[in-house]
Structure formats: structure tokens, C-alpha cells
Amino acid sequence: ILNVEQSPQSLHVQEGDSTNFTCSFPSSNFYALHWYRWETAKSPEALFVMTLNGDEKKKGRISATLNTKEGYSYLYIKGSQPEDSATYLCALRDDKIIFGKGTRLHILP
């Protein structure tokens, strides 16, 4: 059974600063790693789906990398803005879909 760990659990970042957080998992075969952003009172929204070791994806100020051999993925946010405040979830897709507990990001004005 895959176990997905996310760190830190919570993070406070000054507006304009850059930040990153981690998703760790047992190094094993799986179909894909997903990142989602979940804003309060909304539904989780997909940020990235990554499948290959060394994958790097970017969407505006947000980017992610995947290292399947060492079992981690990083999510980076450059120049944090108030609208980046949310919980960021990663999920491993094999036969099931296993989510981490998320990193709750607070952007301080």
C-alpha cells in the first residue's frame, strides 16, 4: 500500500516571497503523480499530472518536478500572491488514488 507524505503540514509565506514544499512516496511503480490546489469553499483543482522521472511542469508562477527513483516531488511557487493561499495536495495514481494530507499555505500581506 502506497503511503504519500507531504511536508510541511502548514506554511506561512510573506507576499512576494518564493516557496516550495514536498511530496514523498515509496519509490515504486505507479502510473502518475498529481498535484491539486484546494481553496477554501471550492473544489480541488488539478495543477499538474506527471508520469516520468525527471518530469518538470510549469503553469505561470507554479512549477513542479518529479523524481521517481528517490521518491519525491517538489512544488514551487515563485513570488507568492494572496490568491495562492490554499491547501496543496499531491496524489499517487496506481490501481488506487492515494492522496497526501496536504500542505496548507498561508500568504501574509
Partner 1 sequence: KAGVTQTPRYLIKTRGQQVTLSCSPISGHRSVSWYQQTPGQGLQFLFEYFSETQRNKGNFPGRFSGRQFSNSRSEMNVSTLELGDSALYLCASSLNQGPGTGELFFGEGSRLTVL
Binders in 30-49 for partner 1, by CB under 8 A: 31-32, 34, 36, 42-46, 49
Distance between CA atoms of residues 80 and 101, nearest Å: 22
Cell 523524481 identifies what position? 67
- Residue 57 binds partner 1, judged by CB under 8 A: no
**How far is C-alpha 105 from the chain's CA centre?**
11
- Residue 91 binds partner 1, judged by CB under 8 A: yes
Give the residue from 87, 62, 67 showing the smallest Cα distance to 25: 67
Q: Applying CB under 8 A, what is the total number of residues that bind partner 1? A: 24
Stretch that binds partner 1, among 14-22, 61-69, 71-79, 91-99 (CB under 8 A): 91-99
